[in-house]
Structure 1
């Protein structure tokens, strides 16, 4: 894929100002980032509840991911110490809706193939 200008994207670490798509992929491609966004989509959660929902994500990893998402402006830590999505976080969720839709169609395609192989 190329940018609108036709320039080939860099293979190094992306700069959000110059290569926003690559910077976005680097952020959301990290383990647990999308899961945190998924869990916060319905509403605010405190750290302990979020940690419980995250399964085998360690507390230190969750803290790191929450800090990254705050730095990226996708979540905010409220005065009661709970976390919630910002407007940008909700917009990213909206953008990922097509991935959700695709995953539902894909599951329907591969499930029969998996069942037939057994």
Structure 2
């Protein structure tokens, strides 16, 4: 849509309508963030089990990621010392499910999956 002057409206951070999606992209763009959500999506996990499943992620980085996800209201640490998705985290996991599905078809294509 163009303004009365004919110029395109600003995009990116200058457009207030983009702020929520940019905030989510910045949060989830941090290394290991989406992996934590992936691991917690099926069931709550304690720190040690989550750390074991995370492979190369250090304990200190995992602690920071868990803290950030808690601050964002996407996970909680229960009195039983396990981490689980909140209602908002469950909604986000559901929104990410098409990406996870798409990634399988992408990886099946020649040259689709990056090598590590």
Pick the TM interval, shorter chain.
Answer: 0.7 to 0.9
Task: Note if 1:69 corresponds to 2:69.
Answer: yes
Cα distance, 1:104 vs. partner? Answer: 1.4
Equivalent residue of 1:84, what SS?
Answer: strand
Structure 2 residue runs of 5 or longer lacking an equivalent are: 1-8
State the match for 2:49 in structure 1.
Answer: 49
RMSD: 2.2
Cα distance, 1:18 vs. partner? Answer: 6.8
State the match for 2:59 in structure 1.
Answer: 59
Q: Distance in 2 between matches of 1:59 and 1:108?
A: 32
Task: Note if 1:8 corresponds to 2:8.
Answer: no
Q: Distance in 2 between matches of 1:72 and 1:47?
A: 18
* Count, aligned residues: 104
Q: Deviations over 1:66-113 (max 9, x none)?
A: 0000000000000011100001111111111111121111122225x8
